[in-house]
Amino acid sequence: MATSSPANSLPSDFEWGFATAAYQIEGAFDEGGRGKSIWDTFCHLEPTRTKGANGDIACDHYHRYEEDFDLLSKYGAKAYRFSISWTRIIPMGGRDDEINEEGVAFYNRLIDALLARGITPWVTLYHWDLPQALHDRYGGWLNVEQSQRDFERYAKVCYERFGDRVKNWITLNEPWIVSIFGYSTGGNAPGRSSINPQSTEGNSATEPWTVGKALIMSHARAVALYNKEFRAAQNGRIGISLNGDYYEPWDMEDERDHEAAERRMEFHIGWFANPVCLAQDYPKCMREQLGDRLPEFTETEFGLLREAEIDFYGMNYYTSQFARHRDGPASETDCLGNVEEFQENKHGLSVGEPSGVHWLRSTPNLFRKHLTRVYRKYGKPIYITENGCPCPGEDKMTVEEAVNDVYRIRYFEDHINAVALARNEDGSDITGYFAWSLMDNLEWSDGYGVRFGVTFTDYNTLERTPKQSALLLKGMFDKYMVPTN
């Protein structure tokens, strides 16, 4: 019989490793039969909307994956989360379009190379790189009916070709970012917005909510398909990765700010977690604010959501904020829940220690609260599918300076400790952790300046150099892990 564990321990079978995404690292944009994605288009717009950066070469992982997986072994990783590029598998994207066998073979090589090293593959089906052909054909995620059927077929091909070895599936990465940054603010591909002066198309008042429903139903179709046709034979797990900050009231004495903090998290997380985890409608506060701009679910769709039961909640967490209520009605293009967001509270107290990017401060204590809130609200085992940071000033550092990443080491230590406390003191079921990211890479619209990697990438030579955090992470987990009986 197991004895009680200390508050800051983790079980010996706790899964941990590193995470990446296809467009951010692969490169080889025109090799191996790969089709064009919306990020290929977005990164080549003029004037640039990605600080002049693109993923044409990126980290050249397509040609260097063996070298990169040797790093995983060196770092002691148990698992590796990566995404499959939809357009490498089906270049035109659609359910009647041709499968690209070269792309299938590439991912077979990746999976086999990981397994040969004793590293468990975790596959994300969609990490933002929608086939451009589908966007051109019918509007992509703006067409709820067509997009979910094409995503279902893409998922089926992946299950069929890789599911004999891949036992951990993530349908979508951060649908909130896809919907809001892609179709409200216009900062990400495909860059549609009616409030961004750089955008020439879009409606920020309606399109994000349509896209959100398309993503939810695409997820549901992919999970229901897995549960019905593949689970019994393949014996795998499937879930989704949702992003979301934790929010505290800007003024602890103002009940309206308490309500604002909760409302902000409902707009951030409940939007997707309510339908996906609970097969329920969107949060009430969203219905109240958005009215008929928020699409309804039919009874048939609720039935599909019930069939699409997931095994885990993938949590992408980086930081927390303070929420302050706004007086008066929300604007038509508001997507936050009619709140203001701050990094300092009413008394000027910072939410956490600043990092190397303006929006991220280190907030391990609020991470613990976030884990506990999500687990109690949605009841699914949690895998932290992304967590990490850039160090202050790292974007200007030489490789010799960057490898001594003291801030990142402290960030990891503090956040892993928060995981242990949330498990053991708060009763939250947390079973895995993926550090973002294995290497410095293309940070989407931020280009190549911001460095989240535990490995330094020289973008001129593509040489990889391990940072101290990469070499120390295994020791951090070893320190926390205790044998399970």
As annotated, the active-site residues are: 174, 386
Task: Find all residues with CB under 8 Å of 149, minimum gap 6, and list them.
Answer: 95, 221
DSSP string, 407-474: HHHHHHHHHHHHHHHHHHTT---EEEEEEE-SS----GGGTTSS---SEEE-TTT--EEE-HHHHHHH
Q: What share of the chain is helix, strand, coil (3-state, %, to 5)?
A: 45, 15, 40
Tell me how crowded residue 267 is: count the other CB atoms within 10 A of its CB. Answer: 24
Residue among 118, 115, 96 nearest 107 (CA): 115
Helices marked H in 47-118 — which ranges?
A: 61-75, 86-89, 101-116
- Are the C-beta atoms of residues 80 and 122 closer than 8 Å to each other? yes
Residue among 183, 175, 173, 155 nearest 22 (CA): 173
Here the tokens at position 239 are: 């879930």
Residues paired with 237 in a beta bridge: 168
Task: Find all residues with CB under 8 Å of 346, minimum gap 6, and list them.
Answer: 250, 251, 252
Strands (DSSP E) found in 309-447: 312-316, 320-325, 339-342, 353-354, 361-362, 382-386, 430-436
Here the tokens at position 105 are: 């073979």
CA 194 to chain centre: 25
Task: Find all residues with CB under 8 Å of 191, minimum gap 6, and list them.
Answer: 42, 45, 49, 182, 198, 199, 202
Q: How far apart are the first and last CA of the chain?
A: 6
- Are the C-beta atoms of residues 438 and 455 closer than 8 Å to each other? yes
In a 3-state reduction of DSSP, which class is residue 295? coil
Q: Give whole-number Cα distances, 188 to 62, 199, 228, in Å.
A: 23, 11, 34
